[in-house]
């Protein structure tokens, strides 16, 4: 794994988030404060709005324009109203609603264990798969970042990684079945 290239990608994301923090967080904080919310609440919804923005645009969104700021601000505001304002006025926050607004994937403990395992044992593969499927980097950039000679060999490696993780998933299913017996 080309550590320098990976760090470059991470540095680009850091720059993006610092930019959005400076540009948008004051407005979000102002809104939340005005409505009687706390700093931690503002932080919570703002960070989830950043996550949502990133998942929507991927690495393509590395240059911030006005509409990006508006998207993050709008999302944060919506999340705050949904999570804190409504919850205070009415019944406790409906968990299904909260999951919908952030598109949160519910992780069962068993999957958490598998994920932790993959984070250590399959770091390189997970980083490669993350770059392509989560960060949505083009295959040419994935090839460069991970030091492959070209798109073709990077693609082959991508499928090998899927195979490896898929095996781990199957193993997990097996041990679970054993456990039930």
Partner 1 sequence: MRTSLNNIAYIEAHLLKKQQPGDALLFDAKLLLDHDLQVDTSAQKQVYTLVQQYGRRQLKQEIEAVHQQLFTQPEHLSFKQKIARLFFRS
Residue 91 CB, nearest distance to partner 1 (Å)?
27
| Under rule CB under 8 A, residue 124 binds partner 1 | no
Q: Which is nearer to partner 1, 88 or 166 (CB)?
A: 166
Is 3 one of the binding residues for partner 1 (CB under 8 A)? Answer: no
Contacts of range 123-127, beta carbons closer than 8 Å, 24 or more positions apart: 124/1, 125/160, 125/161, 125/164, 125/165, 126/161, 126/165, 127/1, 127/6
Which residues touch 106 (CB under 8 Å, ≥6 apart)? 99
7: contact with partner 1 by CB under 8 A: no
Using the rule CB under 8 A, which residue among 24, 45, 50, 76 binds partner 1? 50
Least Å distance between CB 33 and partner 1? 4
What is the per-residue DSSP string for 39-106? Answer: HHHHHHHHHHHHHHHHHHHGGGG-S--HHHHHHHHHHHHHHHIIIIIHHHHSSSPPHHHHHHHHTPPP
Residue 87 — φ and ψ, nearest 5°? -60, -35
Of 88, 113, 124, 160, the one binding partner 1 (CB under 8 A) is 160
Closer to partner 1 by CB, 82 or 131: give it. Answer: 131
Q: Which pair of tokens denotes residue 9?
A: 């990608």
Residue 24 Rama label (left phi>0; alpha psi -120 to 50; beta) = alpha
Q: Which stretch binds partner 1 (CB under 8 A): 65-73, 78-86, 87-95, 112-120?
A: 112-120
Q: Counting contacts by CB under 8 A, is residue 170 touching partner 1?
A: yes
Which residue's CB is nearer to partner 1, number 68 or number 90? 68
Is-contact 62 135, C-beta < 8 A? no
Per CB under 8 A, residues contacting partner 1 are 10, 13-14, 17-18, 21-22, 25-26, 29-30, 33, 38-39, 42-43, 47, 50-51, 54-55, 105, 107, 111, 114-115, 118-119, 126, 129-130, 133-135, 156, 159-160, 162-163, 165-166, 169-170, 173
């Amino acid at each position: 794994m080309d550590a320098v290239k990976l760090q470059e990608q991470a540095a680009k994301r850091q720059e993006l988030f610092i930019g959005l923090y400076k540009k948008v967080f004051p407005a979000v904080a102002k809104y939340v404060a005005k409505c009687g919310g706390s700093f931690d609440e503002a932080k919570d919804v703002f960070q989830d709005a950043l996550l949502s923005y990133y998942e929507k645009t991927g690495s393509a969104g590395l240059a911030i324009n006005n509409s990006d700021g508006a998207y993050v601000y709008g999302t944060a505001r919506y999340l705050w109203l949904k999570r804190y304002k409504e919850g205070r006025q009415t019944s406790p926050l409906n968990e299904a609603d909260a999951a919908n607004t952030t598109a949160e994937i519910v992780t069962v403990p068993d999957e958490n264990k598998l994920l932790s395992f993959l984070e250590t044992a399959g770091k390189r593969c997970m980083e490669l798969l993350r770059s392509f499927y989560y960060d949505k980097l083009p295959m040419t950039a994935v090839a460069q970042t991970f030091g492959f000679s070209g798109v073709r060999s990077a693609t082959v490696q991508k499928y090998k990684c899927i195979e490896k993780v898929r095996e781990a998933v199957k193993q997990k299913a097996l041990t679970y079945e054993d456990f039930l017996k």
